Amino acid sequence: MPKLNLLPAGCLIFSLTLGNIPGAYAQRAAESVSAAQRSAKSTQMTKAVTAFLQVLSDEQRQQATFPFEDEERFNWHYVPRERKGLPLKKMNQTQRKAAMAILETALSEQGFGKAKEIMAMEVILKALEGLPPENDRRDPDKYFFTVFGNPSGKGVWGWRLEGHHLSLNFTSATGEVASVTPAFMGSNPAVVPSGPQKGKQILKREAELAFALLKSFTPEQLKKVVLGETAPNEIVTNNSRKAMMNNPEGIHYGEMDAGQQKLFKQLLEEYLRNYQPNLAADLRTKIEKAGMDQMHFAWAGTLEPEIGKAHYYRIHSPVVLIEYDNSQTNANHVHTVVRDLTNDFAEDALREHYFKHKHGK
């Protein structure tokens, strides 16, 4: 199979209706509203993280916090492993409620629901693997909250929620949420094969919309879409600090017909809608500015939606990369990731912030 390169992802047009306000004024009004909304969302997030830290003991707070500059901020992963931060299992009910309130400031109802289901899937996976009760390898309470820096509306700080198949990273700078990536969600099993929850599929829409788009392509289009008959065994970017991919591959957005473009946008939206609306709007705006003409969709592996047949796809543009891989555990094990190719961990925004802080008035 040809080498899989990664390029920035799909685009969706974000529009604001501003009545009859003339062009230039409408643009300024939209920018003003957007800035106000971003500031409000960041304030909610700041208050939630501050409230969480306040209900922790001194020992717990020390475990949960790191300096913003600490390299631990970039030490993200989605496999079951030892992690830094404070796990849910070491929190009382008040602390758990405060921790989950942080997540609600970042994710939509859809995204929040998926995150909770991914955590709960550990119980199902433990049963399927036949692990004894005392074995905590699969544990819905082994999800860690970590805060980097001092939550405020002026400085730079961030936080992370992470555990098996879930890694959500957020960074705030000068009163605004500056970055919402990397964002990883996965599920093993992808479709629960047996037991009381047989058939449960957390990341169902991500699969169904992609296959619907794939099935809509003509044989000539498929020659561009399909990179190979074998899917990679993992998302290509893995847990890299910076997702660098060159040479976009697959079919160009402009080569799709109107119906295919609609399906493509619906697939993109499934990922963006995991965020709170204002945060999703920021990503849409970035994608739109880069241009839909920069978008590509690529596929590898089986063309049939059957358990046991590995498949992979990606949405790629100069600014955003979305990967989906279902190849492990007899192709019933999904990994997905959203990467901002220009601003993961807010590194681009922070360079600008530090430059202004040093050279500004």
**157-187 confidence digits (pLDDT tens):** 999 999 999 999 999 998 899 999 999 999 9
Those residues of the chain that have pLDDT short of 50 are: 1-33, 355, 359-361
Please report whether residue 92 resides in a domain.
yes
Question: For residue 37, what pLDDT is reported?
Answer: 62
Residue 77 structure tokens: 């992963």
Question: For residue 358, what pLDDT is reported?
Answer: 52
Question: For residue 354, what pLDDT is reported?
Answer: 52
What is the rounded distance in angstroms from the CA atom of residue 182 to the CA atom of residue 341? 10
Please report whether residue 11 resides in a domain.
no
C-alpha torsion angle, residues 68, 74, 77, 83 (rounded to 10): -40
Q: Which structural domain range is residue 69 located in?
A: 23-359
pLDDT per residue as tens digits for the range 5-15? 433 333 332 22
Q: 335 with 184: CB under 8 angstroms? A: yes
Determine if the pTM surpasses 0.85: yes
Please report whether residue 14 resides in a domain.
no
193: Cα within 13 Å, side-chain hemisphere: 14
Q: 282 with 4: CB under 8 angstroms? A: no
What is the rounded distance in angstroms from the CA atom of residue 294 to the CA atom of residue 352? 25
Please report whether residue 13 resides in a domain.
no
Please report whether residue 203 resides in a domain.
yes
Residue 292 structure tokens: 């839909």
Query: DSSP assignment of 34-87, as one string?
Result: HHHHHHHHHHHHHHHHHHHHHTS-HHHHHHHEE-TT-GGGG----SS---SSEE
Question: For residue 3, what pLDDT is reported?
Answer: 38
Please report whether residue 232 resides in a domain.
yes
Question: For residue 21, what pLDDT is reported?
Answer: 31
Q: Into how many domains does the chain fold?
A: 1
Q: Which letter does DSSP use for residue 360 in this model?
A: -
Please report whether residue 322 resides in a domain.
yes
Question: For residue 38, what pLDDT is reported?
Answer: 58
Determine which helix (DSSP H) or strand (DSSP E) holds 187, and give its type and residue range: strand 183-187
Question: For residue 272, what pLDDT is reported?
Answer: 98
